[in-house]
Every structure is written in C-alpha cells, then in structure tokens.
Amino acid sequence: MTAKLIDGKKIAQATRENLKKEVEELIEAGIKPGLAVILVGDNQASRTYVTSKQKSCKAIGMESILIELPESITENELLQHIEELNNRDDIHGILVQLPLPKHISDKKVIETISPEKDVDGFHPINIGKMMTGQDTFFPCTPFGIMEMLKYEGITIAGKNAVIVGRSNIVGKPMGQLLLNDNATVTYTHSKTKDLASCTKEADILVAAIGKAKMITSEYVKEGATVIDVGMNRDENGKLCGDVDFADVSNKAGHITPVPGGVGPMTITMLLYNTVKSAKNKLN
Ligand code: GUN
C-alpha cells in the first residue's frame, strides 16, 4: 500500500471531543441539545443505524429521544408526530430514518420537518441554501467527507472532483459542496458512457454507487484522493466499500477504508448539525 490512509475514526473522535465541550457550554447556558429520531417499522439495518446515532448523542452529553412507530402508521399520523416535535423547545434536531414504508411519501415527511430542525439537511429550503452558497445544515455524509479532506489538508480549489453516483443524500450534495469550495465537478452515474475515462481525470474521486469493489485501479489516476462511501458485503460476507481497497491503495495518494472511513464521520456531522441548531437558540 502506498496511499495515505484517511482515518475516519480518528477524525470523528477529534471532532466529537470538540463537540462535547460545546455541549457542556450550551448546558451551562441552559440549553441541552436534543435530537429526536423517528423509526418506522422494523428494518434491522435502520434499527442498527438509529441505535448508533442515539449512543453517539449520549456519549457527548446530548439528549436523544427515539420515537418508534409501527409499519402500519398512516402518513398523516407520522406527520402529526413531526409537527409535535417541530413545536418542542427541548428538541433541536429531527431525523426520520429512511427508507420509509411505501405508503408514506418521503417528500411530504422531509418537507414537514421544520427547516430549522432539519439536521439531515434534506429539506428543499436547506438544499436551496446550500446550492446558493449560504450557511445551513449540510447533508451529513458529504459534509463529513468535506471535513475529512480539510483535516488531511487536501486542497479542493481548482481540483477535478468526480462523483460516481447521484443520490439526493450523497452524490448530488457532495458535488455541490465541492463546487462551493471551487472544485471542478463532474457527476457520473449508471448511464455514463466510458466511466473509467471520466474517473481517471479525478484528483478527488468519490464513489457512492453501492456496488462492492467496483472501483478498481483502472478507474483511478495515480496519486488521486479516493473517498469510498460504499457499505456492501463481499463474496465472503465481509463488509466492504465500492472501491477495491487492496488494488486502489497501491495507486491512490489518499484513500478511506471501509469500515472506519466515511461512516464514523456521517454520525459525527449529525451531532455537529444538532449542536449547531441548539447554538442558534442562543442568538
Ligand atoms: N438512511 C440512510 N442514511 C440516512 C440518513 O443520512 N438520514 C436518514 N434520515 N435516513 C437515512
């Protein structure tokens, strides 16, 4: 391996130490940051994520409440729960874990969350603010990646950044945040012709496709920074990313591992956004 490893766990820990101090200061000022998480149904993966989010809140001294609702809940009932949380002074962040059952519209749910408490950064108002270069809540995974790049001292301005994947949660906001910091951004996706010829131009390559080990060294320029958002199982059932780590780590300049790369930063930025929302109450 020649690439420098970007240690997401270490960066997450350092960031959480700082957040813990901010939480202490907020509590002294009479505000305990509170996150409400809504879990609908019993998707095991969602439950694992939600448990991890709650534990992380508590570990830095924040309040976290979990609202568990049955799969059979109606859309209107769910929207009422959100409205109640919008009106609670002790709740600074609201997160509805996705995916939701088919009979419930993601769009309606996201648009019902108050933009001031939208710590996922999914509300169209917050996305619009991000697109126009305003300060707001940024989606946690791409925001965490920006923090990792900055922590490692990787220059963004003027670099060619190529995003593989165009989801609303990762790919699209990732490109926007890199553009806001003056990268030249290319979005690629499943319909892109000759993907490798695009990705080989990347100084910063972000893989968010959801296909185990798809990005091999043939897709990567020598010395590139390679960020792996994937969370897949390989042929042996072992957790792996979208990047073939063993292969690409001999060609990249910097690389994130899976696990221990982007994952720990995603939750950290959720904590960051919730603390930010609580701080807004001081003004
Ligand atoms: N499901 C998978 N990732 C996320 C996320 O970042 N936020 C929410 N609310 N649900 C998710």
Residue 152 within any structural domain of the chain: yes
**Same-domain pairing of 153 and 257:** yes
- Distance from CA of residue 84 to its chain's centroid? 26
Residue 120 within any structural domain of the chain: no
Provide the number of structural domains found in the chain: 2
Check whether 283 has a pLDDT greater than 90. no
**Same-domain pairing of 107 and 162:** no
Residue 127 within any structural domain of the chain: no
66/223 Cα distance (integer angstroms): 44
User: Per the structure block, which two tokens stand in for 33?
Assistant: 């940051």
**Same-domain pairing of 144 and 91:** no
**Same-domain pairing of 164 and 63:** no
Residue 2 within any structural domain of the chain: no
Check whether 6 has a pLDDT greater than 80. yes
Range 53-73 average pLDDT: 98
Residue 15 within any structural domain of the chain: no
Range 120-138 average pLDDT: 98
**Same-domain pairing of 81 and 37:** yes
Helix (H) or strand (E) holding 58: helix 44-59
Kindly calculate the radius of gyration of the chain based on its CA atoms and give it in whole angstroms.
19
Centre of ligand 1 to C-alpha 98, Å, is: 5
**Same-domain pairing of 62 and 143:** no
Check whether 131 has a pLDDT greater than 80. yes
> pLDDT tens digits for 138-176?
999 999 999 999 999 999 999 999 999 999 999 999 999
**Same-domain pairing of 180 and 245:** yes
Residue 122 within any structural domain of the chain: no
User: Residues 7, 117, 118, 120: which is the catalytic one?
Assistant: 120
Question: CA angle, corner 215, sides to 205 and 232, nearest 5?
Answer: 105
Contacts of 51 (CB under 8 A, 6+ apart): none
* Closest ligand 1 atom to Cα of 96: 9
Q: Give me the chain's average pLDDT, please.
A: 97
What is the CATH number for 192? 3.40.50.720
Torsion-angle region of residue 34: left (phi > 0), alpha (psi -120 to 50) or beta?
beta
**Same-domain pairing of 143 and 255:** yes
Interface predicted TM-score (ipTM): 0.96
Task: Give the chain's length.
Answer: 283
**Tell me, what's the pLDDT at 139?**
98
Short-list 135, 78, 81, 144, CA closest to 107:
78
Pocket test for ligand 1, best of 98, 113, 127, 265 (most atoms within 8 A of CB): 98
Q: At 32, is the pLDDT very low, low, confident or very high (cuts 50, 70, 90)?
A: very high
Q: Tell me if 140 CB under 6 Å of ligand 1.
A: yes
**Tell me, what's the pLDDT at 27?**
98
What three-state secondary structure class fits 240?
Answer: strand
Q: At 1, is the pLDDT very low, low, confident or very high (cuts 50, 70, 90)?
A: confident
Please state whether the peptide bond connecting residue 139 to the residue before it is cis, i.e. omega within 30 degrees of 0.
Answer: no
Determine the structural domain holding residue 90 and report its residue range.
30-114
What three-state secondary structure class fits 164?
Answer: strand
156/209 Cα distance (integer angstroms): 22
Contacts of 42 (CB under 8 A, 6+ apart): 71
What is the CATH number for 54? 3.40.50.10860
**Same-domain pairing of 148 and 252:** yes
**Same-domain pairing of 155 and 188:** yes
Using CA atoms, how far residue 92 sits from 89, 150, 240, in Å, is: 7, 27, 34
Residue 160 within any structural domain of the chain: yes
| Active-site residue, 97 included | yes
**Same-domain pairing of 152 and 256:** yes
**Same-domain pairing of 69 and 174:** no
Q: Tell me if 120 CB under 6 Å of ligand 1.
A: yes
Residue 97 within any structural domain of the chain: yes
> pLDDT tens digits for 201-257?
999 999 999 999 999 999 999 999 999 999 999 999 999 999 999 999 999 999 999
127/118 Cα distance (integer angstroms): 11
